[in-house]
């Protein structure tokens, strides 16, 4: 395997031979990838390349037909969603996913209570001690503190995406999966979002993998890039290596990236 040079140390996430079929269609075939601890990696590829399936397989939303997912040295293949979350993999969604009948603060308190294994607690009133304070801390990480009392259903689209990420952070994950954090945003809003994501990554000592369609963002902030195409790994490497990769240019980027971006 010619893995790209990775600065962060031992692999946080090791994926080997991952395969998933839906009916006759192979959504993921024999994908083998390593993600080093502390890196910020992008997963790109054309529509239907299997990017979301890839996240679903890692996070336990669907079970692979073959292959292995090893997280921090532990085989987590085939575990359910809740079990994988408890091991430290947090996830935000392409369509912001939260609890619309609750305020921002209540959303985060609910997530924190779940993380502290209080979700089955029938003895104490909600929220238990320390949960509210921690919720405000998490809200502050994403600049949501002023909207703590706002009903989440009434938030702007961008703030709902932030809340989704904040919910994932409430779990104090070591690996964070972001599925198109800038989906549906205008150019200016996108960069505000990406700056927040980048700051989080630095401050919270996270390993972060994100799916993104905006190539300016992908090539601008990633330490490494994986390109998926028809459920296979087409290429992996640093932004410079991907930019120069003939297979990627032909299958996905079409024209050299510099021109595309200009």
Partner 1 sequence: MRRAPIMRDIVIAVILVAVLAAIPYLTPSKAFQDFVIRCSSMALFAMSLNLLVGYTGLSSFGHGLFFGLGTYTFELLMQNTGLSLPVAALATLLFTCVTAIVVGAICIRLRLIYFAFVTLAMQMLAHSIIISWVSLTGGDQGLQGGIPRRFLFGLSLENQYNLYVFSGAVLAVGLLLMRHIVSTSFGTSLRMIRDNEARAAFLGISIWRVKLTVFVLSALFAAVGGMIMSLFVSGAYPELINWPISGDAIFAIVMGGVGSFLGPTVGTMILLLLNDLVTRQTEYYGLALGIIILVFALGLRRGLLDFITERLGGRPAGGIS
List interacting residues with partner 1 (CB under 8 A). Answer: 59, 61, 80-82, 85-86, 90-91, 97-102, 106, 109-111, 113-115, 117-128, 151, 167-168, 170-171
Q: Are 72 and 12 in contact (CB under 8 A)?
A: yes
Cβ closest to partner 1, residue 2 vs residue 101: 101
Q: How far apart are CA 79 and CA 94, in angstroms?
A: 22
Distance in Å, CB of 61 to partner 1, minimum:
8
Nearer to partner 1, 1 or 149 (CB): 149
CB of 32 to partner 1, least distance (A): 25
Shorter beta-carbon distance to partner 1: residue 100 or 186? 100
C-alpha pair distances (Å), 31 with each of 22, 123, 231, 236: 16, 46, 8, 12
- DSSP designation for 151: B
Cβ contact 237:34 at 8 Å: no
- Shortest spacing between CB 75 and partner 1, in angstroms: 19
Nearer to partner 1 among residue 77 and residue 224 (C-beta): 77
Cα–Cα distance between 3 and 5 in angstroms, integer? 6
CB atoms within 10 A of CB 5: 10
Whichever of 153 and 247 has its CB closer to partner 1, that residue is: 153
CA angle centred on 246, ends 51 and 9, rounded to 5°: 55
- Give burial (CB, 10 Å; 0-12/13-18/19+) of 15: buried
Smallest gap from Cβ 218 to partner 1, in A, equals 24
């Amino acid at each position: 395997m010619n893995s790209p040079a990775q600065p962060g140390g031992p692999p946080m996430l090791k994926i080997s031979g991952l395969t998933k079929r839906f009916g006759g269609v192979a959504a993921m075939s024999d994908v083998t990838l390593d993600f080093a601890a502390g890196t910020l990696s992008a997963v790109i590829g054309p529509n239907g390349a299997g990017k979301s399936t890839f996240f679903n397989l890692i996070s336990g939303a669907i079970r692979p037909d073959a292959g292995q997912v090893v997280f921090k040295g532990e085989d987590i293949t085939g575990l359910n969603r809740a079990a994988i979350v408890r091991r430290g993999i947090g996830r935000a969604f392409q369509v912001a996913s939260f609890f619309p009948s609750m305020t921002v603060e209540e959303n985060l308190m609910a997530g924190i209570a779940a993380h502290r294994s209080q979700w089955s607690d029938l003895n104490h009133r909600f929220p238990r001690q320390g949960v509210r304070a921690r919720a405000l801390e998490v809200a502050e990480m994403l600049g949501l503190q002023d909207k703590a009392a706002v009903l989440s259903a009434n938030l702007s689209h961008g703030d709902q995406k932030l809340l989704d990420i904040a919910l994932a952070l409430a779990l104090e994950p070591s690996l964070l999966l972001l599925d198109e954090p800038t989906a549906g945003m205008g150019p200016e809003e996108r960069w505000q979002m990406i700056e927040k994501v980048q700051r989080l990554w630095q401050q919270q000592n996270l390993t972060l993998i994100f799916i993104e369609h905006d190539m300016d963002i992908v090539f601008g902030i990633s330490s490494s890039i994986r390109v998926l195409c028809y459920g296979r790994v087409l290429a992996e490497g640093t932004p410079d290596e991907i930019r120069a990769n003939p297979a990627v240019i032909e299958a996905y980027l079409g024209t050299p990236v510099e021109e595309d971006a200009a």
